[in-house]
Structure 1
């Protein structure tokens, strides 16, 4: 052997699918793939006993399609804290005439979805992951780069306290968030847009408790949402122009409540108290492509969008469930599956692009037009709210998106759960 020729690093382990990122989408994907009997590896930065930072006090709006999938995966049953039903959606804009109210009962539903606190969801995911004896969890472990593999494999370098090692997988999935290290290592660029808004997220109590109404109040600084949590509090997501964010952050509790009251109004009575406030920048990040040889981007690694309309996690979960469904279909047809085969990845991209493009366009367009203070737009916005409130076709478009039924919806999201096929011999 020629010592001057670099040799491939020794491979520590091989997997059908290796997921980098144990957050909302990555963990959900691991559960969905495990039910197919695949050999799945999950790279997690958080050590055992600790939740990733993404599982904080932010309020997640789960569409009906998302609830269907998480129910089929056994995650919803692990939720210990109460969730809040969204029975109606109330949309208005400060300074404009009109408002729109969407009622779930008009569509034969008890609710459009539910509000879940991210921390509670993280604990439910962890409880479900702990029940999967086949799943290989690498934690705390960092992704450090790509490695040579070839012959139908993707090599991945990871590191922990003991040093660096190499894993390989038929398919590498980047679920490591907006600033995805995997996306960068794959040389996939990303388009970024800063909306100039900072989001304040907290729990808030009002004189009148939640009644199932999710409020979306649009302003020149961006949207303010008041969401019906299951603990008799509201989840507040409040946009502030970034130039004023520092001043708002410096307000004491009484000052912040007065500020939020002035923006939102009195529909829920006086705001009485709030919890700790977390701040996040409103930035859209879109990957130039969502696939590379034997690699895919899902969730925020593929697209991070404005939270208006609560589409982000629901879109990311449809990424994960679509991938799981395509692998399941291949497995059912052939009894085995190469999870990173070019044809399978091509089908994934074709399935996801329409949903991705429409959801991103909806979120971005709503964020831009609602925050534009041009007087010329005010009558048009008021007319739009009137149309949504009165025109059935306009309502149906919004309701379908709010419930997660956009694009070619995966069977698990439709509530069509069946027992999945298993690989011949127990491995793909």
Structure 2
């Protein structure tokens, strides 16, 4: 099927069949499509947005790409399409309001120029779109809505799904179905996979911020009773601000004018970059943890936020989801190298995927959830423990090494694309 194929097609046309069908064209879904296309896999991508538009996730929020993520996106040809420069994270400063001590991680102390890069989601979306437009095998169905599974259409060797656009409903088939459709995943629900959820009671305000002192390569994570306030060094001379407030205060904070909002954020963060001077439009997001109890089913896999949506503290979410996608692509590529006709939805392949992702997923979830809960806990009894912990990060090499490895994106068995050329596996 040519790359220019686009829904709708006449109802009498044969039901399309792909090796892999991805539902969701956001950060992880689009990256997976690129990774699979480069190894010759026939991919269909079901996207809710029409040509010329970007999914809502590609807004003004700031994405923190770990080194492993930067390496992989460069290998996939995406970073080269960024029109705006990313901001280098050379240092990570961690502290908590009301507690003694702080920790400062320096990339140079670990033989790196930087831990990663800060990229604006909108810029990343445009880069992904440019790269997708270069692919020769990819078939994009857009705008197209996922309706559910098509019973009786697939059999044991296929998955069939029902989709629709303004022209009506149709069926698509694939050897492997990928749910990359976000926290409220329709694919996950259709597969009957339950979730475990936790509401942190926090609302996150995200915006672009200008301060008296511009970014110098330091990313700040200031923990507080109502969640973190983070400043990320963007490449345009501004900071990316993530400011958490108690959910019951969110409407009141949203109603503040710019000056009062800046004062509110300044009180939570402090004065390490001087006075907060101005900010852009503010977006609000609830802080939630939504974990799929299973990430695989017969001829189906969940990746990214469909598999796990985590607290943004520590900036782990997209980096973890991309490693989901790249691990799956790597296993499919290996299977195709051994047998050109290898089945992308083979049960043994999906079991290997589950095992490969188990350690990284568990460690990242434990880190994110633990930091979110410990950092926001107001108990005075925990202050000495947190202060000792911050001291240990600076003074104990083993503690710092574990934290640095996660910040760089190296947990568990890392996909080969995440490693720079010449880096030991």
TM-score per shorter chain, which class? over 0.9
Conservation of the 8 A alpha-carbon contact between 1:64 and 1:113: yes
Q: Does 1:414 align with 2:419?
A: yes
Query: How far 1:363 sits from its partner (Å)?
Result: 0.3
Q: Does 1:354 align with 2:359?
A: yes
Q: Counterpart in 2 of 1:227?
A: 232
Q: 1:11 to 1:375 in 2, by over 3 A?
A: farther
List aligned pairs for 1:126-137, cutoff 5 A.
126-137=129-140
Specify every segment of 5 or more residues in structure 1 that has no aligned partner in the other structure, as ranges. Answer: 1-8, 418-428
Structure 2 residue aligned with 1:236, among 230, 241, 245?
Answer: 241
Structure 1 residue aligned with 2:67, among 45, 52, 64?
Answer: 64
Q: Counterpart in 2 of 1:394?
A: 399
Aligned equivalents of 1:85, 1:416: Cα separation in 2: 20
Q: Counterpart in 1 of 2:120?
A: 117
Aligned equivalents of 2:92, 2:395: Cα separation in 1: 14
List aligned pairs for 1:9-408, cutoff 5 A.
12-147=15-150, 148-408=153-413
Aligned equivalents of 1:206, 1:160: Cα separation in 2: 46
Aligned equivalents of 2:204, 2:156: Cα separation in 1: 46
Aligned equivalents of 2:310, 2:302: Cα separation in 1: 15
Pairwise CA RMSD? 1.2
Query: How far 1:382 sits from its partner (Å)?
Result: 0.3
Query: How far 1:140 sits from its partner (Å)?
Result: 0.1
Q: Report the secondary structure of 1:173's partner residue.
A: strand
Equivalent pairs counted in the alignment come to 410
Aligned equivalents of 1:272, 1:110: Cα separation in 2: 29
Please give the per-residue CA displacement for 1:144-184, whole angstroms capped at 9, x wherever unaligned.
01013114110111101110000100000000000000000
Bigger drift between 123-132 and 9-18 goes to 9-18
Aligned equivalents of 1:394, 1:17: Cα separation in 2: 41
Aligned equivalents of 2:164, 2:342: Cα separation in 1: 29
Q: Counterpart in 2 of 1:6?
A: none
Aligned equivalents of 1:312, 1:374: Cα separation in 2: 27
Q: TM-score, normalised by structure 1?
A: 0.94
Aligned equivalents of 1:141, 1:64: Cα separation in 2: 34
Aligned equivalents of 1:415, 1:15: Cα separation in 2: 31
Conservation of the 8 A alpha-carbon contact between 1:11 and 1:166: no
Q: Report the secondary structure of 2:330's partner residue.
A: helix
Query: How far 1:277 sits from its partner (Å)?
Result: 0.4
Please give the per-residue CA displacement for 1:355-392, whole angstroms capped at 9, x wherever unaligned.
11110011001100110000100000000000001111
Aligned equivalents of 1:280, 1:344: Cα separation in 2: 36
Query: How far 1:416 sits from its partner (Å)?
Result: 4.7
